[in-house]
Amino acid sequence: MFNLMKTAILMAAITALFMAIGAALGGRSGMMLALGIAVAMNFFSYWFSDKMVLKMYNAREVDEASAPQFYGMVRELAQRAQLPMPRVYLIDENAPNAFATGRNPQHAAVAATTGILRVLSERELRGVMAHELAHVKHRDILISTVSATMAGAISMLANFAMIFGGRDSEGRPANPIVGMLVMLLAPLAASLIQMAISRAREFEADRGGAEISGDPRALASALEKIHAYARGTPLEAAERHPETAQMMIMNPLSGGGLRGLFSTHPSTEERVQRLLAMGGPA
């Protein structure tokens, strides 16, 4: 229930941001147009954002015949977590990472890069997939997928408004300074909304994943490995769609500056320390 409330708050905040962009660039008519776009996007995000994100990453669905070990691992962990079997996807990327998506546990999917299968041991990979299933169990996946889709839409709307919106009778921007501020600040505001809901969620998924797998040290070791590889191996799909970075188990973006300052993930060091404090087999 709490996560459903957070989803509603997120959608309301994104809708307000859409309306603010519309009002700044087109007055009352712009605000009403933006409201209509926001309502449509909220509907689309709830029902179809998981499919959109999987398509962004060119994820391919696998089964017991095409990826028997990986599929069997996810099935065993889903049973331990008392969850329905999610759809399972692989992403042909060298960078090690993984995410979960879907609107609820009955319509969930987990995805991992081929790179993470090569880099991690079986024990470490179990910890990572248990972390993703913890997101499913905690019903985080709707929040993360909706926020990714809507943040991307805000960036697109801000750029569209800068080019086409708020023009006078001669076709010139009516207020170019406002337009420029909207183009710069709207995506930043969307990132702040994502950050506000994401960091605590990762700690909870680490804890839940450690409980599902029964091996917090394996997840801690996996996080350290992924962190080390992520700095030198960019995840190309995430670089093209940075709004989806907060869905990953580890921030996949290679850039520093504002991307680091407004990271949607807590520090790897703190995550590892918390997991090691839980104990488990050495």
Residues carrying an active site annotation: 132
What single DSSP character describes residue 253?
A: -
Among the listed residues 78, 76, 73, 120, the one whose alpha carbon sits nearest the alpha carbon of residue 97: 120
Separation of alpha carbons 234 and 121, rounded Å = 21
Closest to 115 (Cα-Cα) out of 131, 133, 92, 132:
92
Q: How far is the C-alpha of 61 from the C-alpha of 67, rounded, in Å? A: 10
Cβ contact 234:252 at 8 Å: yes
Cross-sheet strand order for the sheet of 98-102:
60-62, 87-91, 108-113, 98-102
Signed CA dihedral, 228, 210, 80, 59: sign only: negative
Place of tokens 């399972």: 88
Residue 155 makes CB contacts below 8 A (sequence gap 6+) with 186, 187, 190, 243
Which of helix, strand or coil describes residue 269? Answer: helix
What letter would DSSP give residue 85?
P
